[in-house]
């Protein structure tokens, strides 16, 4: 599950190939065109080769020249340096395709490390046919590719949920006032995840991102996926002079933590709920305990 910027840059050869690509209109040629546009940082052509869902996501979230410039640079960095299509799968109705690739690419998490070198990656690209033309919809790296939707374990607010080796977690309403300078444009909404770890118990890890594509913690309302804009940690091992750490989450940046402690610790998340959204809030989150993932859905 990485900011809308990274999603489009990852999703999003030179365009001298364009006439041949359009004539062939195959999943492979559509992806080749998308890679070319990504390497060139050409937003218009990237969007022309992306699915309507991704275009709508872009237009909603990337609204300033500064953000567009950030997408361009990230696209150039994240485009596969080289790749080979190993396998193409088509759906029965012929409107969806999956490409399995062997690629050389830069690792998303080490983009800011000048010493980091491109590495081999397994990549899956999913495309959809819209208006008779193939459009790139999703790109995923890793052994499992884009995988499948987690088997969410159902929970309720305030209910204690078991983890490995006697550890537990429960989700409770939080206090937006605890987040200091973090500001919401709409309605500020806070959630506390309260973890209890036994003595000599397991390690706890989690991953946060502002992009719905990569986020492992998010709230769903009326079909909208809302990711956290800030976090606040109150773990026994992360105190600084007795004060919990509060951090605003930046677009395009990944945040993770791996920690071990004895007793109770709280991860608080702040969400920005658009004023026009009403009704039930569905919370989903995935935590990792001793290398095993636990996906929960809280109603």
Q: Domain extents for the chain?
A: 4-141, 153-298
Q: Do domains 4-141 and 153-298 have the same CATH topology?
A: no
* pTM exceeding 0.75: no
Which among 100, 75, 80, 82 has a CA at the least distance from the CA of 90? 100
Name the 3-class secondary structure at 241: coil
pLDDT at site 237: 64
Give Dmax (Cα) for the chain: 65
Which residues are within 8 A (CB) of 37 and not within 5 positions of it... i.e. 6 or more apart?
12, 15, 45, 46, 48, 49, 75
Instruction: Please say whether the structural domain 153-298 has been given the CATH code 1.10.10.
Output: no
If the chain, 299 residues long, is cut into consecutive pieces of 10 residues, what is the mean pLDDT of each piece?
A: 46 34 72 94 94 88 87 87 94 91 82 78 92 91 74 95 95 94 91 95 91 88 91 76 79 86 94 93 95 93
CATH code assigned to 4-141 = 3.10.450.50
Which residues are within 8 A (CB) of 72 and not within 5 positions of it... i.e. 6 or more apart?
41, 43
pLDDT at site 146: 79
Q: Report the C-alpha gap between 219 and 249 in whole angstroms.
A: 16
pLDDT at site 27: 95
Which residues are within 8 A (CB) of 191 and not within 5 positions of it... i.e. 6 or more apart?
171, 172, 173, 174, 219, 268, 269, 271, 283
């Amino acid at each position: 599950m990485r900011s809308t910027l990274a999603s489009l840059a990852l999703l999003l050869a030179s365009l001298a190939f364009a006439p041949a690509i359009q004539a062939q209109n195959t999943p492979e040629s559509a992806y080749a065109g998308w890679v070319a546009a990504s390497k060139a940082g050409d937003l218009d052509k990237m969007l022309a080769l992306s699915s309507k869902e991704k275009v709508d996501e872009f237009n909603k979230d990337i609204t300033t020249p500064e953000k567009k410039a950030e997408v361009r640079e990230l696209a150039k960095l994240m485009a596969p340096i080289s790749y080979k299509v190993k396998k193409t799968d088509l759906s029965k109705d012929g409107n969806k395709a999956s490409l399995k690739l062997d690629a050389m690419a830069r690792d998303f998490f080490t983009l800011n490390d000048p010493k980091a070198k491109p590495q081999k990656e397994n990549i899956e690209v999913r495309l959809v046919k819209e208006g008779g033309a193939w459009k790139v919809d999703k790109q995923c790296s890793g052994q499992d590719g884009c995988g499948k939707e987690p088997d969410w374990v159902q929970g309720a607010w305030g209910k204690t949920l078991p983890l490995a080796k006697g550890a537990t977690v429960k989700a409770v309403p939080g206090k937006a006032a605890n987040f200091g300078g973090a500001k919401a444009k709409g309605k500020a909404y806070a959630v506390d995840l309260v973890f209890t770890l036994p003595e000599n118990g397991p390690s706890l890890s989690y991953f946060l991102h502002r992009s719905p594509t990569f986020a492992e913690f998010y709230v769903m309302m009326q079909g909208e996926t809302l990711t956290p804009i800030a976090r606040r940690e109150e773990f026994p091992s992360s105190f600084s002079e007795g004060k919990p750490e509060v951090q605003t989450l930046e677009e395009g940046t990944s945040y993770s933590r791996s920690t071990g402690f004895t007793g109770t610790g709280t991860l608080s998340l702040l969400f920005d709920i658009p004023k026009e959204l009403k009704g039930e809030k569905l919370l989903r989150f995935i935590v990792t305990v001793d290398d095993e993932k636990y996906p929960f859905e809280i109603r």
